[in-house]
A and B are shown apart, each in its own frame.
Chain A
Amino acid sequence: MAIEDDVLVIGGGIAGVTAALSAADGGADVRLVTHKQSTLRSASGLIDVLGYLPASAGTTGTDEENEQKAGAGTALEGPVVDPFEAIPQLPESHPYRTVGVDTVREALAFFDEMLGDDYVGAHTDDNALVPTHGGSVKPTARYPTSTAAGLASDPRDVLLVGFETLPSLEAPLAAAHLEAAGAPFEARGVTLSFPGIVRDDAKVTRYAHLLDHDEAVPTDSGETGAREALAAAVEPHIQGESRVGFPAVLGDDHPDDVRATLEEALGVDVFEVPMGPPSLPGLRLEDRLYATLESAGVEVRSGVPVIDYETDESEGDSRRIDRVVVDRNGAKLPHRATEYVLATGGLVGKGIGSNRERVTEPIFDCHVPHATDRYDWFSEDAFGDHPFARFGVVPDDGLRPLDGDGDPEFVNLRAAGAVLGGYDYAAEKSGSGVSIATGYLAGRRAAERVAETRNADANGASENANANASDAEVTGTQ
């Protein structure tokens, strides 16, 4: 007896969660299965849509000219001011071109509604410039409210506070880097010791916990709450700056409270500087998304992989997935759905795998185009334009992965996020945006198809309607 739902989403990152919420929003019963925790803990928590254009974008020259351009170190153009304006310049194979700029807008609006007050940036189409822990500035479309006071476009002077035990924000260096990058303000950095932390290798969750719970910590003037102790340590170092930046460890469950307390005590605006992994803004985003799944009635199964699938052989339909098999230490748990969404990630997330012979999509063995000689998979230049960065499945307009002949691998499988090929999210700064846009569309299409199937069933003509609907989508007339 399989566990049954309308839509089964495989993968629990931004793409999978967005697909699940979008399908649920479209009226489907949805389950999400994820092998491991999402990689959001390793993400900055910023929602990038498009920060840089790849070299091939908008070029009309010959291959040779384009290659020269790439070779001359101008592989990327940017930072992009308005991602929506830039999207039509992307190559046609880019997922943004597949879904279209209107869908990207709709998807972001859906995402904004999901995250409410936790994120800002929806007031403009233009990218915001958010300082990161290296002192560089990242063009991004949506950013956590906690980072809002730190924007590089804001002319107010900045004090960055780093901690001796958290070397990933070297505050004086980051401040100098910001100034060198041409930020329109003066930036200064100080390094302090964090009250209540005694070990060099305390986890970022420990810092956040101390502040969340305002735990009592020892100071020179006796025990006080961690928030008060931190404010007292920072206060003497403020020299007229009206905003102070901290490493992004200011609370996990109650970041707004922590920031408000510090702002009140210091009389300045307080902001967080996004850090490398593991990242609390990423962790908070994950918590928020999963809480939204729960309130949307999406069932989540985490910690077990999908390892296999079966097609509907009884009806002779080898292009329709009947069920997938979830593995739990050798026990096989069948899950059946009308529609499936593949959101297992790319090479890093292991939704795309490779060995010395070939590049694969491991669950359904969907077609992943790649050169036969593996020495053609990468560029000699470490920071060059690597083909592997664009490895992934190739979808039709409804985001169904296509086989080598250009036909859908399955009529009821859609792909979203980094498992899709045709874009280099690391270079373009487009990871979250593509995941949200494709997740949104995959979820929508899946829910529409579920509704069609239901109606067809209600009319007692399911087989015909199914077949017709599938044919319609194969020929791309939807």
Chain B
Amino acid sequence: MSDAERPIDETSSTDTNDETNLERAGGVGTAGPEEEFEPVDVFPESEEMDLRPGADDCYKCSTCDTNCPVAEVDDEFPGPKFQGPEQWRLKRQEDKDVDDSVMKCSNCMRCDSACPSSVPLSQMHNTARGEYVEEQMNKLSREYWRNRMLANYRRLAPLAAMFPRTSNFVMGLSPVRWLGEKLLGVTSEREFPDFATETFHAWWAKRGGNETSRERAKQARAERGEEGTEKRIAYFHGCYANYNTPEVAKALVRVYEHFGYEIMIPEQRCSGTPMFANGMLADARRAAETNVEELAAAIEDGADVIASCSSCSMSLRQEYPELFDIEGIDDVAENTWDAVEYLRVHEDLKTELEGTSVADVEGMEDFAYHAPCHARNQGLAGQTREVLSPIDGVDVHDVGDSCSGISGTYGWKEEHYDTSMKIGEEMFEHMETADAEAGLTECPTCSMQMGHGTGYEITHTLEVLEAALTTGSESQGRPVATDGGPDGNK
């Protein structure tokens, strides 16, 4: 809180002792609750987020603009400084609409960690985009329904998962893709990701669910000499690891059980990432209510929340508390971790990995690694290369700080496909020149883009950890499924 918001003088009547006044005003130490100054009470009737401090903190240095991957390839996009603070100020006038260009923002959130003044840019963008979709976008338009469908992929996935082979076959047919583009505006350049023949949930249930995990964890702790301790996590797997890449979720389970963690799988819905990016805040809120309730309960049970997808953890950690006011939401944000980061802080991961090898494991080779924007924004950009470096048989080559360009549903839209590929060009080039023939990342859609641009097979970091740490009694070969790329011949 800045001093401008702290009316110290108002609380002082006769007392001139500064320290006492300060304590009373700011509740520094001893003041009773009735005397505390509550800043939100200034506008008690307002239920909206007050974005004014964010707008006021912007001193227009434009650092955010130089970080925007969209503005670099498309000068029609006015950039994050406009979309955030400037648009917010313009909107103070009654008759001003949100500018259409807000839909060109890909929600990569790079501007957030760029800003030297901590302006909550992505919060401002998400709010403006939500308002635009709510009030200005035609609810009967193809764009609205296409976006709604993409944002709610989770709703369609269970259907496809019931008949994965049929779905994969049908979605892969070129007439279907052509129709998708013509009818819905979903680009026909990309191949839809395959649905797994067995979802993670089905596998988990078959394996005996939480009870099996508790037993395995207990056994692992005994082997590690950690009897009598409790280690428990609630795994937020997200949609993609459940329906499309259960091998990632299984890797997480095995790695965490190796360290003696009991795994709980709370009921969960979409993290909201694609909904934020499409301005579907009401949909996102509904999903958040379930997630927060379930995860807060798990935290109450002594678990920390772990996510394997960098956008899911980003959403729970940052976007939730920025956009919604739900009981327990701050608790969830504070206790949610990236899967690898958690192990780094809570286990001696480095020592554990010394002397391990993946040299004989199929599919584990040298990797071209791309740090997803949403991992980068959590301060995790260098983590994967560093963590995997003690493992024999695998070299990780960082392909630099460019954005992959797909940004979730963004690159799936017909009108954004070219922009998406232009942004990705730098990453593709660096992947091609890196001394590796396979890719590595933690984000499902970055992974799609990496495969699409290079034809490489893309692995998740947890899969490498699994290969290094576990003997693989349960493991099986990873399914080979890559997008054939823009030319379809790679």
A-side residues, CB < 8 A to B, are 1-3, 36-37, 39, 41-42, 197-199, 201-206, 209, 213, 253, 277-278, 283, 294, 299-304, 326, 328-331, 333-334, 349-350, 355-357
Contacts and interface: CB of A to CB of B under 8 A. Distances in A.
Contacts of B321: 329
A32 to B, nearest CB: 10
A205 B72 contact: yes
A1 B376 contact: no
Interface in B371-401: 376-379, 381-382, 386, 398
Contacts of A199: 75-76, 78
A426 to B, nearest CB: 15
Contacts of A206: 71-75
12 contacts: A37-B113, A198-B76, A201-B79, A205-B68, A206-B72, A278-B63, A301-B379, A302-B379, A303-B377, A330-B333, A330-B335, A334-B345
A198 B379 CA distance: 36
Contacts of A201: 78-79, 82
A2 B346 CA distance: 8
Contacts of A1: 344-348
Nearest to A38: B116
A328 B378 contact: yes
Contact of B61 (A277, A294, A331, A355): A277
B113 A302 contact: yes
Given A39-B116, A299-B386, A356-B3, A205 B65 contact: yes
A350 B117 CA distance: 9
Contacts of B335: 330-331
A198 B113 contact: no
Nearest to A335: B345
A299 B350 CA distance: 14
Contact of A303 (B73, B348, B378): B378
Centre residue among B63, B114, B334 by max chain A CB count within 10 A: B63
Contacts of A2: 345
Interface of B: 3, 18, 22, 61-63, 65-68, 71-76, 78-79, 82, 113-116, 118, 317-318, 321, 330, 333-337, 341, 344-348, 376-379, 381-382, 386, 398, 425-426
Nearest to A280: B66
B65 A302 contact: no
A189 B76 CA distance: 28
A204 B61 CA distance: 13
A41 B66 contact: yes
A357 B19 CA distance: 10
Report the 6 A-B pairs with minimum CB-CB distance, sorted nearest first: A330-B334, A202-B75, A304-B379, A303-B113, A303-B379, A278-B66
A147 to B, nearest CB: 19
A278 B348 CA distance: 42
B47 to A, nearest CB: 23
A277 B336 CA distance: 36
Contacts of B113: 36-37, 302-303
A283 B66 contact: yes
Contacts of A302: 113, 376, 379, 381
Contacts of A356: 3
A278 B65 contact: yes
Nearest to A202: B75
Contacts of A3: 344-345
B115 A203 contact: no
A39 B115 CA distance: 9
Contact of B63 (A37, A213, A334): A37
Give chain B's interface secondary structure class: helix
Nearest to A197: B75
Given A37-B67, A203-B65, A301-B379, 5 more contacts: A42-B63, A299-B386, A303-B381, A326-B379, A329-B333
A203 B3 contact: no
Contacts of B75: 197-199, 202-203, 206
Contact of B115 (A36, A213, A300, A357): A36
A294 B398 contact: yes
Contact of A37 (B65, B76, B79, B116): B116
A299 B384 CA distance: 11
A419 B113 CA distance: 21
A331 B337 contact: yes
A206 B381 CA distance: 24
Contact of A355 (B3, B330, B334): B3
A62 to B, nearest CB: 36
B381 A300 contact: yes
Contacts of A283: 66
A302 B76 CA distance: 30
B187 to A, nearest CB: 21
A41 B62 CA distance: 9
A37 B344 CA distance: 24
B62 A277 contact: yes
A1 B75 CA distance: 47
A2 B344 CA distance: 8
A322 B164 CA distance: 54
B441 to A, nearest CB: 18
Nearest to B425: A213
A1 B345 CA distance: 5
A331 B378 CA distance: 11
Nearest to B386: A299
Contacts of B72: 203, 205-206, 209
Contact of A299 (B22, B63, B337, B382): B382
Nearest to A349: B116
A202 B65 CA distance: 10
Contacts of B115: 36
Centre residue among B62, B341, B344 by max chain A CB count within 10 A: B62
Contacts of A202: 71, 75
Nearest to B113: A303
Contacts of B18: 357
A203 B346 contact: no
A349 B116 CA distance: 8
Nearest to B8: A356
B114 A42 contact: no
A205 B71 contact: yes
B368 to A, nearest CB: 15
A191 to B, nearest CB: 19
Contacts of A328: 317, 378-379
Contacts of B61: 41-42, 277-278
A206 B68 CA distance: 10
B333 A203 contact: no
Contacts of B317: 328-329, 331
Contacts of A304: 378-379
Contacts of A355: 3
Given A37-B116, A334-B345, A329 B318 contact: yes
B66 A205 contact: yes
A37 B381 CA distance: 13
Contacts of B334: 329-331
B345 A36 contact: no
